[in-house]
Structure 1
Amino acid sequence: MGTPKGLTEINVCVALPGNRAASQAVRRPPKTDVGAGKTGPSGRAAGKPINIRAYRIIVERWPGPFGEPVIRFGPSGIPLSCKGRTLRDGIEDIHNLGLTAMEVQLVRVNLNERYAGDEDVGRTPRDIPDELVVQVGRKEDRKEVLISALDTKIEKGDVLYSLASGIARDYHELEELGTLARELDIELTLHTPYYMDLADADGLAEKSVQSVIWGGMLAEAMNAPIVITHLGMFGELDPKEALNRIGKNLRTIRDAYKKAKIRSHLGIEASGRTEVVGSLDELLSLVKNAKGVLPVLNFAHVHARGFGLFKRPEDFDDVLSKVEKASDGGHIHAHFSGVEHADGNELRYTPIKKGDLRFEPLAECLLNDDYDLTIVSSSPLLEHDAMYMKVILERVLAKRLVRPPKSEKPPEKMEKPEKPEKSVKDLKEGKAEKRR
Structure 2
Amino acid sequence: MILLGPAGNVEGDILTSLKKIKVLNLDAQEIEFVHSVMMGNELAKKAGALAKELNIRLSVHAPYYINLLSEDKNILDASKERILKSCERAHYLGAKYVIFHTGFYGKLTEEVAYSRVKIQISELMNEIKKNNWNVHLCPETMGKKSQFGSLDELIKLVKETGCKLCVDFAHLLARDQKIDYKEVFEKLKVLKLKELTCHFSGIEFTAKGERRHLLLDKKHTKELLSEAKKQSYDMIIICEAPNTWEGSLEMKKEI
Distance, in Å, in 1 between the alignment partners of 2:32 and 2:226 is 30
Offset of 1:180 from its aligned partner?
0.9
Q: 1:369 to 1:171 in 2, by over 3 A?
A: closer
CA deviation map 1:44-68 (0-9, x unaligned): xxxxxxxxxxxxxxxxxxxxxxxxx
What per-residue deviation string (whole Å, max 9, x for no partner) do you get for residues 211-246 of structure 1?
111111101101111111110111122222221111
Instruction: Work out the CA distance in 2 between the residues paired with 1:303 and 1:195.
Output: 23
Which amino acid in structure 2 is aligned with residue 296 of structure 1? C
Post-superposition offset of 1:353? 3.4
1:295–1:323 CA contact under 8 A, matched in 2: no
Higher relative contact order (CA 8 A, sep 6+): 2
- Alignment map for 1:93-242 (pairs within 5 Å): 93-109=20-36, 165=38, 167=39, 170-203=40-73, 204-242=75-113
Task: Give the whole-Å Cα distance in 1 for the aligned partners of 2:151 and 2:103.
Answer: 15
The reply on whether 1:350 has 2:214 as its aligned counterpart is yes
Q: Which amino acid aligns with 1:171?
A: N
- Other-structure match for 1:425: none
CA distance in 2, matches of 1:367, 1:259: 37
Contact 1:297 1:323 survives alignment (8 Å): no
Q: Contact conserved, 1:200 with 1:245, CA < 8 A, in 2?
A: no
> What TM-score do you get using the length of structure 2 for normalisation?
0.94
RMSD: 1.7
For residues 131-183 of structure 1, give each alpha carbon's deviation from its aligned partner in whole angstroms, at most 9, with x where no partner exists.
Answer: xxxxxxxxxxxxxxxxxxxxxxxxxxxxxxxx6x1x3xx42332121111111
Tell me the alpha carbon deviations over residues 258-298 of structure 1, each in whole angstroms, 9 at most, x when there is no partner. Answer: 0000111111100000001101111112222212x012100
The AA in structure 1 aligned to 2:200 is F
Deviation at 1:202, TM superposition (A): 4.6
Q: Hey, what's the Cα distance between the residues in 2 that align with 1:265 and 1:217?
A: 11
Query: Is contact 2:141-2:154 (8 Å) kept?
Result: yes
TM-score when scaled to structure 1? 0.56
**DSSP 3-state at the match of 1:231:** coil
**Structure 1 residue 261 corresponds to structure 2 residue 132:** yes
Which structure dedicates a bigger proportion of its chain to helix? 2
How far apart, CA to CA, are the structure 2 residues paired with 1:321 and 1:371?
13
1:330 is matched with: 194
The Cα of 1:324 is off from its aligned counterpart by 4.8
Q: State the distance in 2 between where 1:270 and 1:202 align.
A: 23
C-alpha deviation, 1:368, in angstroms? 2.9
Identity of aligned residues (%): 28
Letter in 2 for 1:89: T
Once the two structures are TM-superposed, the CA of residue 344 in structure 1 deviates from its matched residue by 5.5
SS at match of 1:261: coil
Q: How many residues align?
A: 254
Maintained 8 Å contact 2:205/2:211 = yes
Using the TM superposition, give the Cα deviation of residue 375 of structure 1 relative to its aligned residue in structure 2, in angstroms: 0.2
Shift of residue 185, structure 1, vs aligned partner: 1.1
Query: Following superposition of structure 1 onto structure 2, how do residues 413-428 of structure 1 map, counting pairs within 5 Å?
Result: none
Quote how far apart the aligned CAs of 1:369 are: 3.2
What is the letter of the counterpart of residue 378 of structure 1?
Answer: E
| Greater than 3 Å deviation, 4+ residue runs | none
Max radius of gyration: which structure?
Answer: 1
Shift of 1:208: 0.7
Give the Å deviation of 1:389.
0.7
Tell me, yes or no, if the aligned pair for 2:2 and 2:229 is still in contact at 8 Å. Answer: no
Residue 303 of structure 1 and its aligned partner are, at CA, apart by: 1.1
Letter in 1 for 2:46: E
1:98–1:303 CA distance, 2 compared to 1 (3 A): same
Which residue of 355, 359, 367 maps to 2:229?
367
1:391 paired residue number:
253
The aligned amino acid for 2:27 is T
Gaps of 5+ in 2: none
1:384 shift after superposition: 0.8
Structure 1: gaps spanning 5 or more residues:
1-69, 110-162, 310-314, 394-436
In the alignment, is residue 317 of structure 1 matched against residue 182 of structure 2? yes
Does 1:88 find its partner at 2:19? no
Amino acid in the other structure paired with 2:212: R
Q: Do the aligned residues in 2 keep the contact of 1:201 with 1:236 (CA within 8 Å)?
A: no
> In the alignment, residue 361 of structure 1 is paired with which amino acid?
E
Q: Show the counterpart of 1:75.
A: 6
How far, CA to CA, are the matches of 1:267 and 1:256 in structure 2? 15
Of 306, 315, 335 in structure 1, the residue corresponding to residue 176 of structure 2 is 306
